Amino acid sequence: MKFTVKLGDLDKQRKTSLIVGVTEKGELSPSAKRLDKTSQNFISKLLKKGDFQGKIGSTLLLPSVPHIQADHILLAGCGETLTVNERDFRRIVSSSIKALSSSSASHAVSYLAELQMDGHDLAWRVKQTVEIFVDTLYCFQQYKSKKSTAPALKELTIAIADKKALSACEKALKQGIAIAENVSYTKNLANQPSNICTPSYMAEQAKKLAKEYKAISTKVLEEKDMRKLGMGAFLAVAKGSAQAPKLVCIEYKGTAKKQAPIALVGKGITFDTGGISLKPADAMVGMKYDMCGSATVLGTIKAAADLKLPIHIVGILALAENMPSGVATKPEDIVTTLSGQTVEILNTDAEGRLVLCDALTYCERYKPAVVIDIATLTGAVVVALGHHATGLLSNNDKLAKDLLHAGIQSHDRAWQLPLWEEYQEQLRSPFADMSNTGGRMGGTITAACFLSRFTKKFTWAHLDVAGTAAMMGGTDRYATGRPVPLLTQYLINQCEK
Ligand code: BES
Ligand code: MN
Ligand code: ZN
């Protein structure tokens, strides 16, 4: 796929399809107006006849428009006005791309960046257009014996009218490409079934990145290393599985300056059966996606490397498979974590926090400036926030604010939940320093409370992506690649400070 931004009117271009917006009231966007004039009112006549309603998400493909050299004009419905909000913009662009992808069009010019928005500039629309384009055409069919034919659509030119904004738009285009490509990379990892995507497979992917990028290096800790270190909680999760656990440390050094790194810690449960606290069959479907946190760490680091961001990042992947077996961890087993604190494992299905707590303690040796963990940690966050917002909890308001802001900028949004002391009580155990579950009430918060006991030494935020990283259950199951856009934007912002 190839993307460019170009200034001015590209109406005369041949072998292309031009995308323009029109409203329900028959209002034409500036480019639609221009094309209407050239085509001797072809568009306005057609609208007057009632051939196109202009509803958001609707499109009309017009081949061979009189006096127009392009192969097609695609009318994109913009709803009531030519000023749209984020959600509408995304729907308009996405439905246009979908419509063109089922035509013969191989090249398109989008004039949709000229739609007006409150709160976002032209560069934002350029960046989002690239991301939406790639997201809309994404398709994972590695395991289909009959592959559907790829759409002809391979090139997109985003037309802009404002000359002063050109360099900002070119930069936005580059960022959009890096984010879009690594969202796809992350989806590809997440969509692999767990018989392929094991902890070893994920470790191999991390090593592959070290081969591909000079600024990336990868180190893998094996089970015996973790035992020597004393990662009792991590190993308790892996104990029931035939798959060896791995702790991957992947480092990106984009600057020669000595800089305290930003640490990204990803939950990487390649399959979560629940262990001895076995999940019911229906709830188990989708649990191949329990490694999305780890996939996000790799995708974000790769995006930073593609953009050559002058920043230092450490990625930690906590990789294991959660299985029941004769040697698996049982409810009420007590383990000692790397931090020295003891945990009574009341529910083996609360395994994410067990691998993460040791990975977080391990992080200390990098003396990170901030630590962000990403985890499909609780079903409770899906109950609280549904599939639209990532749950955010933090021990530092500035970091929380920065992440919320990056989420708004990238339209990969998060919502903060409280991390008050009061909730900590729910983790009491009569036998160990704490239990690994806090009951049904405030499940996302008590999970974060558990993690907070291992992050006292640094500025830390937790992203619970159980509702946003993938859609699980039902026939429509897919990875979204979130929160790669949020985190990449956060890193970009850190570099621009
Ligand atoms: N991986 C799950 C969380 C999850 C649930 C992700 C649904 C995506 C969709 C996690 O390991 C888990 O099982 N959490 C338990 C915790 C409970 C036992 C305290 C949960 O949410 O039920
Ligand atoms: Mn679980
Ligand atoms: Zn899990």
Tens of pLDDT along 105-135?
999 999 999 999 999 999 999 999 999 999 9
Identify the pLDDT of residue 475. 76
* Closest ligand 1 atom, residue 439 Cα: 19
Q: Report whether pLDDT(346) > 80.
A: yes
Q: Which of 282, 329, 357, 378 to mutate to test the pocket of ligand 1 (most atoms within 8 A of CB)?
A: 378
**What is the C-alpha to C-alpha distance for residues 189 and 310, in angstroms, rounded to an integer?**
26
Q: Report whether pLDDT(186) > 90.
A: yes
Between the CA of 277 and the centroid of ligand 1 the distance, in Å, is 11
Could you tell me which CATH class the domain 184-496 is placed in?
Answer: alpha beta
Q: Which of 349, 441, 446 to mutate to test the pocket of ligand 1 (most atoms within 8 A of CB)?
A: 349
- Split at pLDDT 50, 70, 90, the class of 483 is very high
pLDDT, mean of residues 34-52 = 97
**Which regions of 39-134 does DSSP assign to beta strands (E)?**
59-63, 72-77, 83-84, 107-110, 116-117
pLDDT, mean of residues 167-180 = 98
Between the CA of 191 and the centroid of ligand 2 the distance, in Å, is 18
Identify the pLDDT of residue 9. 84
Q: What is the pTM of this model?
A: 0.98
Could you report the per-residue pLDDT of 467-482, keeping only the tens digit for each? Answer: 999 999 777 899 999 9
- Split at pLDDT 50, 70, 90, the class of 209 is very high
Closest ligand to C-alpha of residue 379 is: 1
Identify the pLDDT of residue 461. 99
Domains of the chain: which residue ranges? Answer: 2-160, 184-496
Q: Distances from the Cα of 219 to the Cαs of 45, 287, 316, 358, 464, in angstroms?
A: 65, 26, 10, 17, 26
Contacts of 141 (CB under 8 A, 6+ apart): 147, 148
Q: Report whether pLDDT(84) > 80.
A: yes
- Split at pLDDT 50, 70, 90, the class of 463 is very high
- Split at pLDDT 50, 70, 90, the class of 272 is very high
- Measured from the CB, is residue 424 less than 6 Å from ligand 1? no
Identify the pLDDT of residue 497. 87
Strands 414-416 and 478-479: unpaired
Could you report the per-residue pLDDT of 374-413, keeping only the tens digit for each? Answer: 999 999 999 999 999 999 999 999 999 999 999 999 999 9
Identify the pLDDT of residue 473. 74
Identify the pLDDT of residue 67. 96
- Measured from the CB, is residue 272 less than 6 Å from ligand 1? yes
353 among known catalytic residues: yes
Between the CA of 245 and the centroid of ligand 1 the distance, in Å, is 20
Could you tell me which CATH class the domain 2-160 is placed in?
Answer: alpha beta
286: left (phi over 0), alpha (psi -120 to 50) or beta: left
Q: What is the mean pLDDT of the chain?
A: 97
**What is the C-alpha to C-alpha distance for residues 131 and 89, in angstroms, rounded to an integer?**
12
Query: Of these residues, 125, 353, 413, 482, which one is catalytic?
Result: 353
Identify the pLDDT of residue 465. 99
Rg over alpha carbons for the chain, rounded to the nearest Å, is 25
Identify the pLDDT of residue 391. 99
**Residue among 322, 316, 341 nearest 235 (CA):** 322
